[in-house]
Amino acid sequence: SLNCAQCQNQVFTQRTGEIASPDYPAPYPPFSTCSYNIQVEDGFLITLEFPVSCHVRFQFGPFCGKTLPAKIETQTNVVNITFITDMSGAHTGWKVKYTNENVVMSFVAECQKNASWNKPMAKCIIVDCGQPEDIDSGAIMYLTGPEKTTYGAAIQYQCAAPFYTMRRSRNFSFQNTVKVCGMQRTGAVERIYGGRRANPGQFPWQVMLITEHGELGGGSLLYDSWVLTAAHVVAEQRNPSTLKIKLGILNKYSVHYEEVQAERIFIHEGYRNDLVNFDNDIALIKLEHKVPMSTTISPICLPGKEERFQMKADDIVTVSGWGRTETRSSSVVLLYTELMIINQKECTDAYANKSHNGNPLVVTENMLCAGVEEGGRDACHGDSGGPLVLLDVQTRKWFVIGVVSWALDCAVAGQYGVYTRVTSYIPWIESIITNNS
């Protein structure tokens, strides 16, 4: 609109002045977006005052209404004001007067013949840094005194330990918390076919998924608002909000767990969803809100490019889930079992002459195989999308190196479970998370 065009990107460089809403003192127009920028020389601090009553809200407030807001001392020489209107009614608007004070390190004045100083006297004010920035998943401690932010005051940032640790930004001006990943809260894994019952906190990254069709699947918590799973688990999920996502749960029928909502589902663009070719069988679920960390809920680590994360034959890995067991029904409790990585050629050969519904089954370089030669231990139906994890001896942390994808049969000797190779998809995972966080 014309009114909107007249009040965008206005710049004020004089040391004092007035700014008013469009058409002031008449009501301001609806559906306008106005921006005002006050810029004065370095060394000056801008002060805002409202000489007349107004009917808007400011980020310093909310202010206004029937009483005047207090004077705002901004402690800066650049101030941006954005004014957005809707259609909530006709209001008079506002007017702001801005002035500034010159901040100097020293001040010289001369005594004149008439017994007066040649310039107005300066005043000393204490340096005030203002309120420190908030920190997610942590707290600010005022070491010098309650809410004290003036010269000499000290503050301390603390993370919600042990689930978060501190990371400083490159310019060291601000610190943020980083989720601690891959940490078990209970003892070591012992030596869901042939599986053992998981203990509380043993697999805190394990996620249970129940689709809108009632199908059971698994996933892994990444950071505090993402879940990694298999594409085939969520490929038919039309509405993200109807996907049930449970964390911190061991017994399927327990009422003690954290349920979260999916905001969006990202299926790898190379996944074909034809139930024969499972290449690129990987997906990410963005959660609506951050998950609170606890002894039973914390994320798994993503592997890096280091050689030790390139799986070799006979590496020991662990798979977990609520999938089908020897009794042919899905498990009530979370089970886990240790497996060995199978040589890629051996796995490819094992499926070379196998087919499903007349279509050949293909093991690609984006997949890895795990199992035991004699059979008896494996992931199975209902475990799909769940984590295949590795305990890294260097960091003593757990890393997700596979996603339960497919197999012809479960726990059959000479035939192995096939997993999506996570290291093949780190750039894709990082890109999705970075562009959608």
CA distances in angstroms from 407 to 199, 308, 358, 437, listed in the order given: 27, 26, 15, 34
- Tell me the residue type at 252: K
Catalytic residue among 331, 384, 392, 405: 384
106: Cβ contacts below 8 Å, ≥ 6 apart: none
Encoded tokens for 369: 């195989």
Q: Is 118 part of any domain?
A: no
Q: Are residues 204 and 292 in the same domain?
A: yes
181-195 as b/e: b if 16+ CB within 10 A: bbbbbeeebeebbbb
Q: Are residues 316 and 380 in the same domain?
A: yes
Catalytic residue among 21, 220, 225, 232: 232
CATH number reported for the structural domain that contains residue 16 in this entry: 2.60.120.290
Domain count, the chain: 4
Q: Is 219 part of any domain?
A: yes
Q: What is the pLDDT of residues 293-321, one digit of tens each?
A: 898 999 999 999 999 999 999 999 999 99
Q: Evaluate whether 29 touches 3 at the Cβ level (below 8 Å).
A: yes
Q: Is 350 part of any domain?
A: yes
Q: Is 120 part of any domain?
A: no
Q: Is 111 part of any domain?
A: no
CATH number reported for the structural domain that contains residue 255 in this entry: 2.40.10.10
pLDDT for 372 equals 79
pLDDT for 23 equals 83
Examine the pLDDT at 172 and tell me if it is beyond 50: no
- Size of the chain in residues: 437
Q: Is 410 part of any domain?
A: yes
Q: Are residues 172 and 282 in the same domain?
A: no
Cα separation of 176 and 169, whole Å? 7
Paired strand residues for 101: 45
Q: Are residues 228 and 320 in the same domain?
A: no
Q: Are residues 263 and 343 in the same domain?
A: no
Catalytic residue among 281, 378, 383, 392: 281
Domain span including residue 365? 307-425
Q: Is 155 part of any domain?
A: yes
Encoded tokens for 426: 């780190």
Percent of the chain with pLDDT over 90: 44
> Does the active-site annotation cover 281?
yes
Q: Are residues 166 and 269 in the same domain?
A: no
Encoded tokens for 45: 């601090």
Of 384, 269, 259, the residue nearest 320 (C-alpha): 384
Other CB atoms within 10 A of residue 399 CB: 23
pLDDT for 218 equals 96
Cα separation of 391 and 204, whole Å? 14
Encoded tokens for 294: 């606890």
Q: Are residues 251 and 152 in the same domain?
A: no
Q: What is the pLDDT of residues 355-406, one digit of tens each?
A: 877 778 889 999 999 987 665 555 666 689 999 999 999 999 999 999 999 8
Q: Are residues 205 and 259 in the same domain?
A: yes
Q: Are residues 325 and 390 in the same domain?
A: yes
pLDDT for 381 equals 67
Of 40, 27, 42, 32, the residue nearest 4 (C-alpha): 32
pLDDT for 231 equals 96
> Does the active-site annotation cover 384?
yes
Q: What is the pLDDT of residues 106-154, one digit of tens each?
A: 778 899 999 999 887 777 777 888 888 877 777 888 888 888 888 888 9
Q: Evaluate whether 183 touches 397 at the Cβ level (below 8 Å).
A: yes
pLDDT for 300 equals 97
> Does the active-site annotation cover 356?
no
Give φ, ψ of 232 to 5 degrees: -70, -20
Q: Are residues 294 and 312 in the same domain?
A: no
Q: Are residues 232 and 335 in the same domain?
A: no
Half-sphere exposure of 50 (CA within 13 A, CB side): 21
Examine the pLDDT at 64 and tell me if it is beyond 60: no
Q: Are residues 247 and 273 in the same domain?
A: yes
pLDDT for 256 equals 92
Examine the pLDDT at 275 and tell me if it is beyond 90: no
Q: Is 327 part of any domain?
A: yes
